[in-house]
Each structure stands twice: as C-alpha cells, then as structure tokens.
Structure 1
Amino acid sequence: MANCRISSADLFLLVNFAEYVALRVRGRQPYDNRLQNRQLSTQDREMLDRVRQPSAERLATDSAYWLRTCYDPSAEAEKIFLRMPQLLEAFCTLEEYEENIQEALSEAIEAHALDPELAEEEGYDPVEDAKPWPMFHSDYHMQLVIGRIHVVDATTLASEGRNAGKVLVVWFDECGRAIRYSREALEDASDIAGLSNYMLNEYGCWVNAKIGQPYQWGQPLGPPYGENGGDSD
C-alpha cells in the first residue's frame, strides 16, 4: 500500500476516515500529536465522535476487542477500521515498532534460506504441513500486529453451516490488513480474549491460522521479498 502523506493541518480536518486508515504509523503521528496537545473545537469533537461509537457496540479487554458487525442476517458488515481508526494506534514508540519488524523480517528471510531440514527439526512434516514458510515468518507476523479483534459477524450468527457459531479472530497490522485469522468456537475465543498476542505465539489459533491475503506467498507484503527487504512503499 502506498504510504500516504498529508499535512498535520489537513489531517485534523479529515472527513473521510479512509485516508486516516491508509496512513501507516509514522503518517498518523502528527494527527495523534495534535489530538494530545490542543483544545478541540466543537467541530473537531463532532468529527471524532463519528468514529467513537457507544461502548455497548464493542467490549474491550486488555488484549482484544469484541465487535458485533451484524444485527440482521441481510445487513452489510460494518467497516470496522473506518468507524474506529483508533484501533490502529501503536502502543510502543515508532522507532521500536519499525526496528522490531525489520529485525524479525531479516531473521525470517535468513531462516527461510537455510536447508529445509531445519523445518523438519522443528517438527515440520513436509507431507502433512505443506510449505513451511509460515513457521519461519511467525515472529515477523507477530511483530507486525497492532491489535486483535474478535468479530461476531453474519457467519457467526448463522443457524447452520460449518462455521456457524464460530467467532472470527483477526490479527491486524497498522493499516487494518489481516495478518492472520481463524474461526474459533465461542468458548475458545472467550478463553484467549484476555491473553496478550505473544502468549498465543504457539497457540493453535495462531499457528494454524490462515495468512491474510496481503501477506501470502507472492503477494505485496509476503515472501519472496525484493531487494527492498519487504518494504512495499
């Protein structure tokens, strides 16, 4: 995704929050600084209220958000990150975030370049487990995670079907793109809701999760990476 650049003055006047969602962590920093360092006008507050919905619509835990995105079987799913772009905020410094990602990416590329026997030593079965690359890139994917949401959508609320009653658990990056996702039974999704992402690093819902499309093999943010080391900007 191209890295949008908008002046700090324009950022605060955004009406279409899709522009905010498209910004990466560095691009959102001027907006966050202005929010923290100035008195908001009535117009500014009204604008921000449009993305800060009633707490009854979502339940925050220490590590994950629960969102119901369907109130009727025919309803269109909500645009979560356009309504709540604050979910894309980073909770460490910008420098730490970028350094951790680059370090993990370098290690993933190095590990992936080694003999495939390394994967077998770690328990990878070439017959049952298909390609081993998600295992090599697990820490890189985890470093990319900005947050996790547990989504109760139309599939969850359906009366029948393979995934009926299952909650969609999604780990997302700084632009709201799915890094990994899986469908979990309600009781399992509840059990892991309060756990930090790193406590799930070897948990089945993370290890066996599907890879988000932008991070799949051959896609813009997935392996094999070009000479720029995986930076898509």
Structure 2
Amino acid sequence: MAPRLLQNFNGGRAHIVTSNPTAVEALHVTLGKLGVSACFPALIDGRADLDPATLQAERDILFVDGDLDNPLALDIDAGSRQPPVPVIGLVGVEAPSRLKHLVNLGATAFLRKPVQGGAVYTALFLGINQFLLRGDLRARLDDMDRRRRGRRAVVKAIIAHMQDAGVDDDEAYECLRRESMRSRQSLEDYCEAFMKKRAGIHGQTTQPRLIGRSAERR
C-alpha cells in the first residue's frame, strides 16, 4: 500500500541554500504562510554551513540553488539516488550540467528563479510526495530482496521438518507457515531461526558421541 499523499506542510522546516536571497524572497514569504519555517544556511567557501546528519526526513526540506557549484555534501543512497530529506531545485541557468547536478542531489521538484509565490505549494507537494513514494518503493524492493535471499532457509527448513516429523513437503510447509504466524515473524525469518535452533540441538546431541569415540581410540 502506497503512503498517503501529504497535503499539509505545517511544521516543516526549510533550508534554502542560495547566494541570492532576493531571488527567493517570495519563497520565504510563501513558506511562512504554509506554516513552514525557513532559514538560509551561510555559505562558507561556496559550501552551505549545514550538517546533513542533523536533518530529519519527516520535517526538513532542502531548497538548493542550481547555480551554485556543489554547495552540499549529501549522503545519497547509491541504489535509488534517494537523499536523506526532500530536495527541491532552484533553477536559474538551465544548463544541462546545472540540471544534472540537481538531479544527482535527488531533487524531485523544481522552482524557477526568481520564485513566484503561486508556484511554491505545487513544488512542495510534488517534491515531498515524490520523496515519500520513492522511499516507500525502495523499502518494498529491499524487503523483496531480503525475502528472496531468505528462500534458501525456507527450502532447508521444509526438508529438515520432513525428515524430523516424517511428513510430506506440503504438510511441512503448512506447519512452518502456521508457526511463523504464531510467532509473528515472516516465514523467511522464522525458518532461518528454526534452522539455527535445530543446528544447535543436533550439535548438543552429537557432541557426546564424538567425545566417546575419541576416548575409545585412546
């Protein structure tokens, strides 16, 4: 199920990274009307004085001026190009290299400079909700990949239960599925734990025999 689209941005916190506050004056004013506080991080040697580790995905929004050269060092997810918070690009010069830089930062919406107040809500709506949708999709893909890797444990657990209980594969699967539901775990996680527990039990029962055989040899 896809996340619910966010329509109210009250309580948000915008960080506007630009060297030209005059061009984004309407952005600052309109954000205030929408209940979003705004600040302008200082630029030190062309880099915003902003620690990405302090950003909160559920609250913060980044507005990044595309006319600046590498103003931020964001930790972008390599698999999905997902930044830690929503990024909205501020576009002045429409050079492909500038636009590419904003895309590489993970921008999901854009505003033309000088910013017009009437365009701000649309950019917020698109930028934040696309960020949420991408994050949800990434989580789903990660879960699918985790489950795919866990299928080996499921197959091993079915075979082991068939051997231990003397049942066929269908009955072994149903038994494991019921137990996983009872323990409120995914089938893959339950089967992995089942195999670890079984290996521990078998190790304890076989260890004395090994010691006995060694003693007999001596």
Please, what TM-score do these two structures have when normalized by structure 1?
A: 0.23
**Which structure is richer in relative contact order (CA contacts within 8 A, separation 6 or more)?**
1
Please, what TM-score do these two structures have when normalized by structure 2?
A: 0.24
- More helix by percentage: 2
